[in-house]
């Protein structure tokens, strides 16, 4: 009987997954419908992350694998109602875009930290050669990863015949960072106006190092404030737990009477407003 029940479970899950696949095919086969537009938009977003992270999988492949896994978990949950299967469905539906986004943000932050080092290397290279393209190519083996990977892509694009300014602009759009885009714009403008690019890059590198130092000081100063907000926000809950542990009937008037419920609602709103406001105050930025 157990074997028959397990076979019935697998057959039901396969039937549900097959039905979801047929419905998805019918929806996506119609040109220009809303489901297809949302699917293409989602796959393009995943493609942007995967191409930036240099993954071997395309965004459409990740989205298709995510759809198949979600449909499989949904079918298993429909016939088993298992919390573990429901958790698997949530992970399959939400984990891939979140993980790709976190890795994208982390890579951009690492590139920003290595920017001042690369600018200083480029400034020193420009003292030995007047060609910006050759100076950029000479910094590829010197700068650490992942910045060397991005500069290597820039050099390859230049060698394929793309103009230097256009290649730099394409790299800035690929990374999509305000700091890096500003540094690249400085290179383009200084090159077009005929200024001393080497000295300009040295000043830009020093300014970036000073900005990073100020951000570190700011994070240190605001960390204490965020800790105080966390402690103050948790104090009411700790007091309620202690009072309820000492006397369980203490909160009965507040929970069972309309006036007490109104007071409790007002206190919850005031606590939420104060916590959000305090978090906003301590979230300072340069």
Enter the pTM of the model: 0.65
- Distance between CA atoms of residues 142 and 94, nearest Å: 38
Domain containing residue 181: CATH number = 1.20.81
If asked whether residues 199 and 139 sit together in one domain, one would say: yes
Q: Determine the pLDDT at residue 232.
A: 78
The domain boundary, picked from 187, 212, 237, lies at 212
Indicate the pLDDT class of residue 33, thresholds 50, 70 and 90. Answer: low
If asked whether residues 24 and 74 sit together in one domain, one would say: yes
Q: Among 12-16, 99-103, 110-114, 198-202, where is mean pLDDT lowest? A: 12-16
Average pLDDT, integer, range 113-136: 80
If asked whether residues 227 and 188 sit together in one domain, one would say: no
Question: How far from 231 is each of 202, 211, 217, 235, 238, CA to CA, in Å?
Answer: 44, 30, 22, 6, 10
Indicate the pLDDT class of residue 258, thresholds 50, 70 and 90. Answer: confident
Measured over the CA atoms of residue 194, residue 199, residue 203 and residue 204, the dihedral's sign is positive
For 162-198, write each residue's pLDDT tens digit: 888 888 888 888 888 888 888 888 788 777 776 677 7
Buried-exposed string 157-187: b where 16+ CB fall within 10 A, e elsewhere: bbeeeeebeebbbebbeebebebbbebbebb
Average pLDDT, integer, range 16-28: 54
pLDDT at 132 over 50: yes
Q: Determine the pLDDT at residue 20.
A: 56
pLDDT at 285 over 80: no
The domain boundary, picked from 212, 242, 272, lies at 212
- Distance between CA atoms of residues 276 and 30, nearest Å: 46
Residues spanned by the domain of 164: 110-212
- Residue 168, C-beta contacts closer than 8 angstroms, at least 6 positions apart: 154, 184, 187, 188
Indicate the pLDDT class of residue 14, thresholds 50, 70 and 90. Answer: low
Indicate the pLDDT class of residue 2, thresholds 50, 70 and 90. Answer: very low
Q: Determine the pLDDT at residue 126.
A: 79
């Amino acid at each position: 009987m157990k074997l028959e029940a397990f076979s019935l479970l697998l057959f039901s899950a396969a039937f549900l997954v097959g039905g979801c696949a047929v419905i998805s095919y019918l929806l996506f086969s119609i040109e220009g419908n809303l489901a297809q537009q949302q699917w293409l938009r989602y796959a393009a977003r995943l493609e942007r992350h995967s191409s930036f992270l240099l993954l071997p999988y395309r965004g459409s492949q990740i989205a298709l694998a995510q759809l198949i896994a979600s449909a499989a978990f949904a079918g298993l949950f429909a016939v088993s109602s298992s919390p573990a299967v429901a958790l698997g469905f949530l992970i399959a539906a939400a984990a891939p875009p979140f993980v790709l986004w976190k890795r994208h943000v982390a890579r951009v932050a690492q590139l920003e930290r290595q920017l001042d080092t690369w600018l200083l290397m480029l400034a020193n290279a420009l003292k030995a050669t007047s060609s910006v393209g050759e100076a950029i190519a000479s910094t590829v083996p010197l700068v650490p990863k992942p910045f060397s990977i991005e500069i290597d892509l820039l050099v390859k694009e230049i060698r394929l015949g793309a103009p230097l300014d256009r290649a730099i602009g394409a790299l800035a759009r690929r990374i999509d960072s305000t700091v890096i885009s500003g540094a690249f714009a400085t290179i383009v403008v200084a090159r077009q106006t005929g200024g001393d690019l080497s000295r300009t890059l040295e000043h830009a590198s020093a300014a970036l190092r000073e900005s990073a130092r100020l951000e570190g000081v700011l994070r240190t100063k605001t960390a204490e404030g965020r800790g105080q907000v966390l402690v103050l926000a948790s104090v009411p809950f700790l007091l309620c737990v202690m009072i309820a542990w000492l006397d369980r009937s203490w909160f009965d008037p507040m929970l069972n009477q309309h006036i007490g419920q109104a007071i409790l609602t007002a206190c919850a709103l005031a606590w939420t407003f104060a916590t959000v406001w305090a978090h906003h105050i301590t979230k300072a930025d340069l």
